[in-house]
Amino acid sequence: MNLVSTSGRAQTLRTDRIEARANGLLGDCRRAFHAFGDLDELAENLRILSLNAELAAGRAGDKGRAVRALTQYTRELVNRLAQIQGEMNTLRGHTFALSSTILRGMSQLALFERACELINDGQHDSRACSMADRAFNDIMRMLVDTLDSMAGAVKDLARRTHGVEEVVSQSDSIATNIAIEAAAAGVHEKEFRTVSDTMRRYVDDLRTMIDEASDAVRRASEKGDALRRLGLDSLDDSEFNG
């Protein structure tokens, strides 16, 4: 029993599903990276805010001591955001390279299916069928391996997203503590409260990024798992029928 002569249509339908989900996966990855497009700018805004807040804390003397410590911790969080951004840039390049490999594999599968049609229109030469089977298996193994790597990249992206989420939570706590310190800062209350309010605004912007990125990462993870199963099923079927 031969793949080309007995299950060509089934394989065509399955590869169509793989292509549709692969395009969806790549779209979700792009959306996740796009969500963090302004992360550099927000990190820089937080850094400048922390510097200005430290100057204000210095002017407040003893009443600004706690605020000074909080702003120094804020700069540590800014450094963490910069590290995450650098890791995301590297991950983006890796993910797009994997995307190109997947798209190239899908194009090769389309050529394979066309070859199957030509074979089926002919005399079903056994040698040609065997070569087509091997070509399909080689392409599908490459796709499954690449999808494994893509699944790992999505997991890495999820970890980076969680890292930003941790920074947001800590920044929110800092903003709350600065607001508490402002209440006892006397003439410096307005200045400290402005710092707190501004930081909360940046935190809200970061939360918006996380919400969008987390949704895209979740969808990408689901599609990646489904794609791998489809690829393995196609590979198993072809080897069984080969």
Rounded CA-CA distance 236/234 in Å is 5
Q: Which pLDDT score is estimated for 117?
A: 66
Q: Is 124 left (phi over 0), alpha (psi -120 to 50) or beta?
A: left
Rounded CA-CA distance 22/15 in Å is 10
For 17, half-sphere exposure in the C-beta direction (CA atoms, 13 angstrom radius) is 15
pLDDT band with cut points at 50, 70 and 90 for residue 22: confident
Cα 10 to Cα 4, 94, 112, distances in angstroms: 10, 32, 14
Rounded CA-CA distance 20/26 in Å is 10
Q: How many domains does the chain have?
A: 1
Q: What percent of the chain has pLDDT over 70?
A: 81
Rounded CA-CA distance 207/165 in Å is 7
Residue 7 has pLDDT above 60, yes or no: no
Angle in degrees, 0-180, between the axes of helices 65-121 and 39-59, rounded to the nearest 10: 180
pLDDT band with cut points at 50, 70 and 90 for residue 2: very low
Q: What percent of the chain has pLDDT over 90?
A: 50
Confidence (pTM): 0.80
Contact between 146 and 87 under an 8 Å Cβ cutoff? The reply is: no
Q: Which residues span the domain enclosing 199?
A: 3-241
Q: Which pLDDT score is estimated for 239?
A: 52
Q: Which of 107, 103, 104, 80 is nearest to 30 (CA)?
A: 103
